[in-house]
Amino acid sequence: MRISPSHPDVPGPIRVPRRTLLSLLPLGAAGLGLAACSGNPLQRAAQSTDGPAGPTASPAVTAPPVPTADASGAVALASALGGVAATFRVGPATVQDGYTLVRVEVSTDSDEELTISSAFGGSSPYTMRGMRLLSLHQSLVFPELGERSDGLFDTVSRTSPVELFPVFDAVDDGVETVELFLPSVGVAVGVPVVSPENAGFEAGELLSVAEIDREADPGPYQLSSLVVATDGSYDTDSDEDSTTVTVSGDVTFGSDSTELSAQADDVLTKVVEQLNRYPSGGKLSVTGHTDDVDEEDYNQTLSEQRAQAVADRLGELTDLSAWDATVTGKGESAPRAEGTSDEARATNRRVEVVMTPKNPAEATALSAATPPPGQASTATAGQMPRSVGPVGTGADGVDVRISDQTVHLAMESVTRVGDYVTGALLLSAQEDVSITVSLFALPNELQILHWPASFTGVHNPTLLQGGTRYLAANYLDADSEYVPVTNRNVYKIASGEATRLPVVWPYPGADTVTLDLPGKNLAARLTDIPVAQA
């Protein structure tokens, strides 16, 4: 769902249909954590393995401090490109003539030289489009609008830093700080927004030569969140208007049955948790769906009866008097997954519960509360599944094999801002390792639910909290494609300084998180990653 643009040169908003996928909490702002390797990037500590319930977080783990803006209004990120250490000083940002400009200075203390274009591969021509401005307290994403590539191919050396000035749509009046996502680098958190007079650069002159793409959709786009049960029993999708909880028909009902199963209450309790977050109520719809097996009329009746069974049980589990409820069935007419495979048909057997509250801010206020240290929220309770790859702490990391070479994965911390966290997955190797973005694809059972089969991007890194999995925060772009706030492309892991892959996730509600790469092409788990507060 996109928000109206703020300057007059761009057409008004185009409404796009929201997906029927689901997430657990209505989420607002998100923080961004940037991990850095210290010492020998291949130095190892003993690695542990987890039992059936997964690793246990250590409450003694503490996060390093989050970088803040210096006197010039810049937030410094220690990073690397092509294995060469670099520092990105991001900020300040300023708004002029309906646009936001952000100053980005890139420097290195290394004797080796580097160019910035390696971080923005995959676009033609190379531009700064890989950067995305985030207003996390508003849960908004702004695409880069400039068509120039000034600075991207300039050489950065010890004596020659490079400045970039990406252009975005104007942030709202009163926004004091923003975040900037830099692919293969990290996310700068808390970049101050200052007046043009205090920016330290001539915003008007820069805009006059910026070659802004007037045909591009400027956004901003609303962030949404994908949260799923690891046992496949339910998943949720939330935006600023509504929350949908989809429950599996195979878990809540027996085959061809309209009678709720013994496990149904465990799943419907997740729906009740969401309903109870909106005391003022609102509109509630319960819709049944089936697969394409059996006759169409039979499936239509089955879907209606299953929807009614779910609605009746919800009314027994909680007070629905504040909700204006409707109950319908769509049979096989609205499949969630295309195809006739067993996997696709199981996905299509479902009941969707959509909540459109009168006062969405009620849930935002509740989600802002932080559970006690070491304790997850009740919505994330459950047993953590066993890892399908090696397991170690985020600080120590783990070794995996990629292209017959050893690659070390680590993540020192994540950073919370409001209802999101961000971190950077670090990949280190003694020799260059060629990789493709397909290495970071989700397993089929998750891909089929949440992303088009043709989608490419780094979306394998997920967070686990108990029996709940948090996928990368994402948004629906101008092409009606869901895009995670991650790298869209990767090409190699360079020897030397670690390669970084930043990601933004929903906040799981604990003082430590577990990063899980659930497999398909790359599987690993990093535990005890502390959550720093921005």
pLDDT for 117 equals 84
Q: Which two tokens stand for residue 420?
A: 């999101």
* 224 burial type by CB count under 10 A (0-12 exposed, 13-18 middle, 19+ buried): buried
Distance CA 368, CA 124 (A): 41
On whether the CB atoms of residues 25 and 225 are closer than 8 A, the answer is: yes
* More confident call, 108 vs 520: 108
- Tokens 């070479």 -> residue: 405
Query: φ, ψ for residue 336 (rounded to 5)?
Result: -85, -30
Nearest 10 degrees: CA dihedral of 37, 41, 42, 46? -20
Are 166 and 128 spatial neighbours (Cβ–Cβ below 8 Å)?
yes
* Confidence grade of residue 513 (pLDDT, cut at 50, 70, 90): very high
Q: Does residue 35 carry a pLDDT above 60?
A: no
Q: Is residue 455's pLDDT more than 70?
A: no
pLDDT at 22 over 70: no
User: Residue 517 pairs with which residues in a beta bridge?
Assistant: 524
Specify the residue for token string 């948004």.
Answer: 475
**Beta strand residue intervals within 21-176, DSSP E:** 75-81, 84-96, 99-107, 132-135, 140-143, 162-164, 167-169
> What is the CB neighbour count within 10 angstroms for residue 26?
29
Q: How far apart are CA 362 and CA 322, in angstroms?
A: 14
Q: What is the mean pLDDT of residues 241-261?
A: 92
Which pairing describes strands 132-135 and 177-182: parallel, antiparallel, or unpaired?
antiparallel
pLDDT at position 40: 33
Torsion of CA 381, 383, 389, 394, to 10 degrees: 40
User: Residue range 372-393: average pLDDT?
Assistant: 70
Pairing of strands 523-533, 391-393: parallel
338 vs 95, residue with greater confidence:
95
**Which residue do the tokens 């497999």 mark?**
519
Give 272's pLDDT tier (boundaries 50, 70, 90). very high
Helices (H) and strands (E) in the chain, counts: 7, 30
Q: Are strands 186-194 and 84-96 parallel, antiparallel or unpaired?
A: parallel
Contact 486, 517 (CB under 8 A): no
Indicate the domain borders of the chain: 75-222+375-533, 242-359
Of the candidates 310, 394, 383, the one whose C-alpha atom is nearest the C-alpha of residue 352 is 310
Does pLDDT of 3 surpass 70?
Answer: no
CATH architecture of the region 242-359: 2-Layer Sandwich (3.30)
Contact 144, 129 (CB under 8 A): yes
Measure CA 252 to chain center: 29
Cα-based distances in Å from 473 to 145, 424, 486? 21, 14, 9
For residues 66 and 367, the model is more confident at: 66
pLDDT band of residue 452 (cuts 50, 70, 90) is low
Give the integer Cα–Cα distance in Å for 107 and 247: 50
Q: Does residue 236 contact residue 335 with C-beta atoms inside 8 Å?
A: no
CA-to-CA separations, 69 to 72, 89, 159, 178, 527, in angstroms, rounded? 7, 9, 23, 11, 29
CA distances from 200 to 90, 93, 205, 209, 400 (A): 13, 10, 12, 18, 45
Closest CA to 421 of 21, 98, 32: 32
pLDDT at 21 over 60: no
Residue 225 pLDDT greater than 60, yes or no: yes
Return the closest-CA partner of residue 427 out of 401, 453, 454, 391: 401
Per-residue tokens: 308 = 């009614």
- Residues counted in the chain: 534
**Residue 7 per-residue DSSP state:** S
**Does residue 121 surpass a pLDDT of 80?**
no
- Residue 160 DSSP code: B
- Count CA within 13 A, CB hemisphere, residue 295: 3
What pLDDT does 43 receive?
34
Question: Region 418-447: what's the mean pLDDT?
Answer: 89
The answer on pLDDT for 318 being more than 60 is yes
Q: What pLDDT, in 10s, does the model give residues 285-295? A: 999 999 999 99
Please tell me what DSSP assigns to residue 307.
H
For the beta carbon of residue 65, count every other beta carbon within 10 angstroms.
Answer: 10
Query: Model confidence over 59-115: pLDDT tens digits?
Result: 456 788 888 999 999 999 999 999 999 999 999 999 999 999 999 999 999 999 998
Return the pLDDT at 393.
Answer: 98
Q: Kindly state the helix (H) or strand (E) to which residue 273 belongs, with its residue range.
A: helix 264-275
What rounded mean pLDDT belongs to the chain? 83
Q: Are 504 and 30 in contact (CB under 8 A)?
A: yes
Structure tokens, 351 = 């009941």
β-sheet bridge partners, residue 114: 156
Record the pTM.
0.83
Residue 454, pLDDT score: 55
C-alpha distance from residue 249 to each of 158, 287, 290, 309 (Å): 61, 12, 8, 12
472 contacts 388 by C-beta, under 8 angstroms: no
Percent of residues, the chain, with pLDDT higher than 70: 82
What is the gyration radius of the CA atoms in the chain, in angstroms? 23
- Give the least confident one: 32-36, 191-195, 348-352, 426-430: 32-36
Instruction: With both helix axes pointing from N to C terminus, report the angle between 264-275 and 296-317 in degrees, rounded to the nearest 10.
Output: 60
Cα–Cα distance for residue pair 114/109, rounded to 1 Å? 11
The reported pLDDT for the residue numbered 449 is 62
Cis peptide bond upstream of 279, omega within 30? no
Average pLDDT over residues 225-233: 89
Whole-number Å distance between alpha carbons of 8 and 6: 7
